[in-house]
Structure 1
Amino acid sequence: MMRLLRLQKFKEESGAVLVMVAIFMVVLLGFIAITIDGGRLYSEKSKLQKALDAAVLSGAQELKTSQAMATSNAKDVSQKNGVTLMDAHLTFTSSSIKATKQINVPLTFARVLGFKNTNVSATAKAIVAPLKKASGVAPIAVDKNSVPDSLVLNCGQSNPGKNHGNCGYIDLNGSGANGLADAIVNGSTFDVGSKIVETEPGGKQGPVNDAIQSLIDSDASKSYCQSAATADNSCKRVITVVVIDTWADANGKSNLTIVGLAAYWIEKYQNKTLYGQFIKMVSPGEIGSETAIGDYNLYGVKLAE
């Protein structure tokens, strides 16, 4: 009789252990699901976010040119990063592009808990605004009224004016003609608004001619750099120039306030005259909020969210 009772008790305890083991396995699988599937969700979310960030930054580069080109750029870049964007995923303002995308991610271990898949989403927004500070800027100043219609940057004629003794150059701490030529090729750093610059009188024709020609020669193998319509900021002959309010009060060594920056495609330099064309451009730098010269101001891009 006692043996039967002990056998019955053993069966009951064995059943309880099985129940506990089953519960433990469910809990264990839950932790595995959280660890593995959770890691996968984090990875997919990160991948999606990076793709959208890259897409809006690329799209914003063309936002001042056309919304169609901005859309095309954003779609192309996102596709290269493994994410397909449709028109419905993109929203625009005159100064921003925003992408929102949701994807479905299949789960593995979470299936034992009844979860087959779940959605992850991401949003990215890039804004376009005038640059207030940039490096790689040529020490050449132009009147804001010259932008964008003037096709020549003249010495002693219309820019900056025949009575001022200036050819539109900015003094770089007394570095003279050689310093001017070097800065035309390699650029300098300028701030909009808070920066007062001093003019550099004289033509500096020889050094300036050599500097300009070196920029043109550097692009000899780049067919897209040979036209203002197709050139971009990878072209050496596309320079950034300083925009001032007016040359009216300048005479010899004079202090001028920068009101903006603009991109200028160089056709040639001849007889102290720089021939070319202002172009719309987005370039690296620190962005601000206002511009004195509209869409032909040099613009920058940054992520806003």
Structure 2
Amino acid sequence: MNRIRDLWKKETGNALVFVSIALMTLLAITGLVIDGGMVYKTKIHLQKVANAAVLSGAQELTNNQEKVEEVVYEALSKNDQDAVVENLEITMGEKVAVDLEVPLSLAFSKLFGKDQVMVKAHAAAELRTMGRAAGAAPLGIDESIPLEYYKEYELKVDQHDNDTGNFGVLALGGTGADTYEYNLRHGYQNEIAVGDILETQTGNIAGKTRTVIRERVNGCDENPRDVNVRDCSRVILIPVYEPIAYQGNQLKQVKIVGFAYFYITDPMDEHDTSIKGMFIERTGTGYEEPGALERGAFSIRLTE
């Protein structure tokens, strides 16, 4: 009895209770960290998938709604086949938004009756008027022209191209026929933006133009014609300008006010001095800038 009284007074059994509680607490925290980490990792991945889906779909907002849906679901299939589309909102010419969810099996939380959780993500992408871009062709169109999309136009490129007409040949990165030819074939590699002042290109560059236009036409089949095909060499980015300086009747300087996309419809023969095609509405890899004039060239921006 005396020994029992001594053990009771020393309370040596309490240590075992405290250690047990501490271990249970540590186990619970570890389990929550593991489950929480799984949820966080899945959430980050699902958000990237949602972003990729709307960015891809937004490229077709100038095309048709069926194509937007097709591209969105194609992007989802490539990036996460388990993701479920809870909601898909499409406003043609403006915005595409998607809500995704995916079931995630939990580990530790199963001990408390929670087998899985639904991880969700939302993303939206909108069209913006393009005001800054690389890859522009060394051709321009006067801002005063009221463009009609999918109507045939002719961009003059003879030695009289920079008179008081509606189209002009631009000196992007320098003057000279070779520089012009390179920029027409590959696009000007540096960015130009709304507000930039550019010189015009003078001289006869019709021969250089014919060669490059034939290459671009031959590089993109038109059977059938589809102006929305990505990476079609017939499509060129055209700066829209405001004339600001003349010498006599020849335009010498312009200010960039926006961008347009031009689809080349016909090759040029040995006697042609104009590029035949039509202006189209299209998205590209440029960026928005305040004050840019809307002429059918759009950039894409994640907004949500």
- Relative to structure 1, the CA distance from residue 274 to residue 56 in structure 2 (aligned partners, 3 Å threshold; closer, same or farther) is same
Contact persistence 2:132–2:194 (CA under 8 A): no
Once the two structures are superposed, the pairs formed by residues 221-260 of structure 1 within 5 Å of their partners are 223=221, 228-244=225-241, 251-260=249-258
- Relative to structure 1, the CA distance from residue 19 to residue 237 in structure 2 (aligned partners, 3 Å threshold; closer, same or farther) is same
- Relative to structure 1, the CA distance from residue 290 to residue 228 in structure 2 (aligned partners, 3 Å threshold; closer, same or farther) is farther
Whole-Å Cα distance in 1 between the matches of residues 111 and 276 of structure 2? 72
Once the two structures are superposed, the pairs formed by residues 13-28 of structure 1 within 5 Å of their partners are 13-14=12-13, 16-28=14-26
What's the CA shift string for 1:20-76, capped at 9, x where partnerless?
A: 343123212112112211111111101110110001101111112223322222222
Q: Secondary structure at the match of 2:122?
A: strand
- The one-letter code matched in structure 2 to 1:280 is E
What's the CA shift string for 1:168-214, capped at 9, x where partnerless?
A: 31123652111111110121245453122232234312212222233
- The one-letter code matched in structure 1 to 2:239 is V
- The one-letter code matched in structure 2 to 1:299 is F
Once the two structures are superposed, the pairs formed by residues 112-191 of structure 1 within 5 Å of their partners are 112-143=111-142, 144-155=145-156, 164=164, 168-172=168-172, 174-188=174-188, 189=190, 191=192
Contact persistence 1:147–1:293 (CA under 8 A): no
CA RMSD of aligned residues (A): 3.4
- Relative to structure 1, the CA distance from residue 180 to residue 149 in structure 2 (aligned partners, 3 Å threshold; closer, same or farther) is same
- The one-letter code matched in structure 2 to 1:193 is V
Whole-Å Cα distance in 1 between the matches of residues 10 and 140 of structure 2? 96
Contact persistence 2:50–2:122 (CA under 8 A): yes
Compare 226-235 and 93-102 and name the one that shifted more.
226-235
- Relative to structure 1, the CA distance from residue 293 to residue 142 in structure 2 (aligned partners, 3 Å threshold; closer, same or farther) is same
What's the CA shift string for 1:130-174, capped at 9, x where partnerless?
A: 1101111001112433442542424389x968x648973112365
Contact persistence 1:201–1:252 (CA under 8 A): no
Does 1:96 find its partner at 2:95?
Answer: yes
Q: Identity over the aligned pairs, expressed in percent?
A: 26
- Relative to structure 1, the CA distance from residue 10 to residue 104 in structure 2 (aligned partners, 3 Å threshold; closer, same or farther) is farther
Compare 115-124 and 48-57 and name the one that shifted more.
115-124
Given candidates 51, 61, 64, the residue that maps to 1:63 is 61
- Relative to structure 1, the CA distance from residue 198 to residue 212 in structure 2 (aligned partners, 3 Å threshold; closer, same or farther) is same
Contact persistence 2:141–2:240 (CA under 8 A): yes
Q: How far did 1:129 drift?
A: 0.7
Aligned residues: 294
Query: Unaligned regions of 5+ residues in structure 1, if any?
Result: none
- The one-letter code matched in structure 1 to 2:206 is Q
- Relative to structure 1, the CA distance from residue 152 to residue 181 in structure 2 (aligned partners, 3 Å threshold; closer, same or farther) is same
Contact persistence 2:152–2:278 (CA under 8 A): yes
Quote the residue 1:278 is aligned against. 279
Compare 55-64 and 116-125 and name the one that shifted more.
116-125
Q: Secondary structure at the match of 2:213?
A: helix
- The one-letter code matched in structure 2 to 1:268 is P
TM-score, normalising length: structure 2: 0.81
